[in-house]
Structure 1
Amino acid sequence: MTRGDNPAPAAVDPQELWLGIGAARSGRGRKPAFTRGAITAAAVTLADAEGLDAVTMRRVAAEVGAGVMSLYSYAPDKETLLELMVDHVSAELAPATTASPLTGDWRADLKSVARLQRAQMLRHRWLPAALSTRRSLGPNALAFLEHALAALRPTGLDGAAKLEVFSQLTGFVSSYVGHEITQAAAADHPDRTAAEIRYLTAVAADGHHPELAEVLAAPPRPLSPDAMFTRFLDRLVGGLDTD
């Protein structure tokens, strides 16, 4: 096993990672052959193409043409590399927020925030899994958080409540996109889907599941991912209590 390829979850010091506090510095020695940004971009490209499991220190080193050991001065372990990757793709959100300034209608603005997050996660389908464990907020993620908190200013919620709403929204989007990706994969196996439908239909007809039978008998709603996301998002944001 290569160091950093399959590490136990490590505690990443956000001050050291993002501000350089506590990091060793020296003006001596050979000029670095790579940059942290280039290594992070290579890791993101690899994850986009092959999934998060493909991102190992050895694979990333091969992508940039470096020795594995040389990468550890940029990212000491995979946990740190994931932090860098998440913040790297968060930079994509800045132009979108600039192009769609806040309107003052906090519900509409919050829905825009969620749509931006969904689009980002669909571009980088490894992102929901990467966000499933606690991550620190790098500069790009902080900029987007600032935008989301500004969207909530008209609510009059206190700071803690605003952070709770943002966390709830992000959790919903991440969960939905994960489900969306799973359903897209299931569409590649129509026989299995048909078998599941036959099974539920049989269960609903046994007389012991009247609620399920009623649900299955109801007219179907549009099942497109966009339509479902909009319905779920409307329910979530519409149900937020700011009193």
Structure 2
Amino acid sequence: MTRDGGAGAAGVDPEQLWLNPGQPRRGRKPAFSREAITAAAVALADAEGLEAVTMRRVATQVGAGVMSLYSYASDKETLLELMVDHVSGELPTSGAATGDWRADVKAVAHDQRELMLRHTWLPAALSTRRSLGPNTLAFLERALAALRPTGLDGAARLEVFAQLTAFVAGHVAHEILQAAATRSPDRVAAEARYLATVAADGRHPELAEALTAPARPLTPDATFTRFLNRLVDGLGTG
């Protein structure tokens, strides 16, 4: 990604980003820390959305000249990696196993969902990030440990964690859109009338049956838990 724009060919160098932190790339020693710059970018994304985060806006937030920011983040892509790992530091990374690995894995997913609901830009950011910073790695250790009793090998556990994270991110993104839609009751009513009409036309028997099935709790928490249970309870052992 260019400094404030599209993706670059090389992407972020994880060794430079995570193994050599705080080393300015060029020029005089900056007056601001990487942590402060990252926190300012996170606050901006929380308040106005990810599209509001530009190097210029972040520089204004911390009272710096925009060029000084490039000592810590060479472009917006790098800044995004820093932001994702920064908020990942809010995830709990320890806790005794309960003896029920499915419950432990579900707890991992619930923690991820709570984080993404606090930082609603995170699902979109996760779809483009490429590296694992120290906070993300600490949480990954917890997740892989929770999955160990499944009997899956290390590579498979990594795949399951990636699948779980993708599920949570996708669900939260949908959840946020649904919450916005419910703020328009006329639209919700129109959607219900439309589906009822379609279900009654005789050409969609499967939909008609689905709409007449016993209602399930539709609160966001209940819906997420129901979907998560289907995902995790289907994992086999060995």
What's the TM-score, normalizing by structure 1?
0.92
In 2, the alpha carbon distance for the partners of 1:104 and 1:47 equals: 38
The answer to whether 1:148 aligns with 2:146 is no
Q: Quick check: 1:204–1:213 contact (8 Å CA) kept in 2?
A: yes
Q: What is the aligned-residue identity percentage?
A: 74
Q: Deviations over 1:171-216 (max 9, x none)?
A: 1100110011000000111111111111111111111001111111
Q: 2:178 aligns with which of 180, 183, 197?
A: 183
Gaps of 5+ in 2: none
1:102: how far off? 2.1
Counterpart of 1:124 in structure 2 is 119
Q: Quick check: 1:40–1:88 contact (8 Å CA) kept in 2?
A: yes
Given residue 8 of structure 1, which amino acid in structure 2 is its aligned partner? Answer: A
Counterpart mapping for 1:193-204 below 5 A? 193-204=188-199
Counterpart of 2:51 in structure 1 is 53
1:11: how far off? 0.8
Q: 2:219 aligns with which of 224, 229, 235?
A: 224
Distance 1:200 1:25, change over 3 A: closer
Distance 1:64 1:104, change over 3 A: same
Distance 1:240 1:130, change over 3 A: same
Q: 2:81 aligns with which of 75, 80, 83?
A: 83
1:69: how far off? 1.1
Query: SS of 1:125's equivalent?
Result: coil
1:30: how far off? 4.7
Gaps of 5+ in 1: none
Work out the number of aligned pairs and report it.
235
Q: Deviations over 1:14-62 (max 9, x none)?
A: 01100029x7779xx7542100000000000000000000000110000
Q: 2:67 aligns with which of 66, 69, 85?
A: 69
Task: Point out the more displaced range, 133-142 or 29-38.
Answer: 29-38
What's the TM-score, normalizing by structure 2?
0.94
Q: Quick check: 1:7–1:77 contact (8 Å CA) kept in 2?
A: no
Distance 1:24 1:185, change over 3 A: closer
In 2, the alpha carbon distance for the partners of 1:241 and 1:172 equals: 18
Counterpart mapping for 1:23-62 below 5 A? 30-62=28-60
Distance 1:134 1:31, change over 3 A: closer
Q: Quick check: 1:43–1:85 contact (8 Å CA) kept in 2?
A: yes
Counterpart of 2:4 in structure 1 is 5
Given residue 166 of structure 2, which amino acid in structure 1 is its aligned partner? Answer: G
Counterpart of 2:187 in structure 1 is 192
Q: Quick check: 1:58–1:68 contact (8 Å CA) kept in 2?
A: yes
Counterpart mapping for 1:154-173 below 5 A? 154-173=149-168
Task: Point out the more displaced range, 146-155 or 74-83.
Answer: 146-155
Distance 1:152 1:84, change over 3 A: same
Q: Quick check: 2:93–2:138 contact (8 Å CA) kept in 1?
A: no
1:242: how far off? 2.1
Query: SS of 2:145's equivalent?
Result: helix
In 2, the alpha carbon distance for the partners of 1:68 and 1:97 equals: 35
Given residue 15 of structure 1, which amino acid in structure 2 is its aligned partner? Answer: E
Task: Point out the more displaced range, 6-15 or 191-200.
Answer: 6-15
Q: Quick check: 2:81–2:129 contact (8 Å CA) kept in 1?
A: no
Structure 1 segments (4+ residues) deviating >6 Å: 23-26
In 2, the alpha carbon distance for the partners of 1:114 and 1:152 equals: 12
In 1, the alpha carbon distance for the partners of 2:181 and 2:25 equals: 50
In 1, the alpha carbon distance for the partners of 2:215 and 2:171 equals: 20
